Amino acid sequence: MAWGFSAECDDCGHHWDALTWNERIGEYNADSYSYFCPQCFVHVNIAPDLDRYTFPKWLAANQASIDDARILQHIVLLINDVAANSTGLLIPHAAYASRMICPTCDRSLVNGTIDDTPIVCQKCNSETARSTGIHSHVSLARVEGLDDQL
Ligand SMILES: [Zn+2]
Ligand SMILES: [Zn+2]
């Protein structure tokens, strides 16, 4: 699901509207980690307790959704890599979290959400803009690839 939001830049004063959306790895719960790309405005929620037995089942059940989103494919590869190179039931979050990037813009994902994280101004390119609020729901599953469809 995508949402429209308004943004403004503290540096150059630019105001604009854009879309933000959410992706998910594992079942959502209140302790899920929140990551965010400040350039593309995509969020990824990651379950805090991924383990090597239930994660492959979640993957199998959600494969279609993952195939559609490069950011999920990238994170799944990292998690599988960490799972293959660690022992114990839980897949250690820190071992892959620091390596997560946004494949669209190559930035490292930041810990946070659009509500509490500075975003990149689409005019001056400095990371000094912020969301001034979500104002609409947009019936798009993903914004990724939108440019190709227009
Ligand atoms: Zn990005
Ligand atoms: Zn600006």
pLDDT digits (tens, 9 = 90+) for 114-139: 999 999 999 999 999 999 999 998 88
Report CA(15)–ligand 2 centroid distance (Å): 8
pLDDT of residue 145: 54
Write the pLDDT tens digit of every residue in 30-56: 999 999 999 999 999 999 999 999 999
Identify which ligand lies nearest to the alpha carbon of 13: 2
The whole model's pTM is what?
0.90
Proximal ligand: closest to the CA of 124? 2
CA distance 25 to 84: 18
Q: How far is the CA of 46 from the centre of ligand 2 (A)?
A: 30
Q: How far is the centre of ligand 1, averaged over its atoms, from the C-alpha of 40 (Å)?
A: 4
